[in-house]
Amino acid sequence: MSALETRFARGAWAVAWRGLHVMAAKPSLIIPSLVFPLFFFAAFAGGLSAVDQAPNFDYPSYTTFQYVFVLMQSAIFGGVFTGFGIAADFEFGFARRLLIASHNRSAIVAGYAITALVRALLVWTVVTIVAIATGLEVSGNVGDILEILVIAVMLNFAATMFASGMAMRFRTLQAAPLIQLPAFLIIMTAPVYVPRDLIEGWVASVAEVNPFTATLEAGRDLIIGAPAETLLAVGVAAGLIVVMLNWARTGLRRAEAAG
C-alpha cells in the first residue's frame, strides 16, 4: 500500500471511528434508524397481512414480501440518516476542521460511508431477528441471500453519496427535509404493498421506471429461491452509485470552496 493509500485509509477510519463512537455514546442517534424500519415492518407485514389472500397475489408469504422491502428501505435510510449527521457536523463546525486537517478530503466521505454501512448492518440484524420471530420464510440458498446483501449494500452506498452531496452543499440541518424527501419518494413509488402486476393508476407507471423497483423485485425473488433479474438489479444499483459519487464529489468541492 502506497503512502497516499495509507493516508486515505487512516483518514477514512478516523472519521468512521468518530461516527461509530458517537453512535455508541448517544443511543438516541441510532434509535430513529431502528424505529423507522420496524414501524414500517409492523404496519405493513402485520397490519396488511390479509393482502396475501387477494386474488392473483402469488407470493408465498406477505411477511417475507415486506421484509425485503424493509431491508432495502433501511439500506437507503441508513445513508439518509448519515447525511443528517454530516449536515450537523458542518453546522456545528466539526466538518470544517476535518477539511482543514485532511490532505485527501475524499477520505472524509469514505469515513461517513463506513459509518452508514455499520448503521445499516445493525438495523438489518434487528429487523431480521424480528422478522424471523414473526414468520419470515426463506427458501433461497446462501448465495441468494448474499446477492440480496450485495444489492442492499450498494443501495446504502448510493444513498450515502446522495445524502453527502446534499449535506455538503447546504451544510445545515435545515436541509434535512431536502435530503429525506427524494429518498422517501423513490421508495414509496415502488411496488411496496403488492407485486407490480397488481398496481394500478399513476403509481403503476412510476413503478415501471423507478430504479428501486428492479432492486426490490430481485430481492423478493432471491429470498424465495425464484429466478431473479439479479444482473439488472446490480446494474441499476451500480448506475446509481456512479451518478451519486459524482454528486458527492461536486458537493465536497462546494464545501471546500465555502471554507
What averages of pLDDT result for each successive group of 10 residues across the chain (259 residues)?
72 84 75 80 72 77 91 93 90 81 82 92 92 89 96 97 95 92 92 87 91 96 94 97 96 85
- The pLDDT of residue 29 is 67
> Do residues 134 and 219 make contact, with C-beta atoms less than 8 angstroms apart?
no
Domain residue extents for the chain: 3-258
Half-sphere exposure for 49 (CA within 13 Å, toward CB): 11
Model pTM? 0.91
Give the burial string for 161-188 (b: 16+ CB within 10 Å, else e): bbbbbbbbbbbebebbeebbeebeebbe
For residues 68 and 87, what is the distance between their CA atoms, to the nearest angstrom? Answer: 29
- The pLDDT of residue 48 is 65
Q: Grid coordinates in use for 197?
A: 402486476
> Do residues 216 and 191 make contact, with C-beta atoms less than 8 angstroms apart?
yes
Q: Is 169 left (phi over 0), alpha (psi -120 to 50) or beta?
A: alpha
Q: How many CB atoms lie within 10 A of CB 146?
A: 12
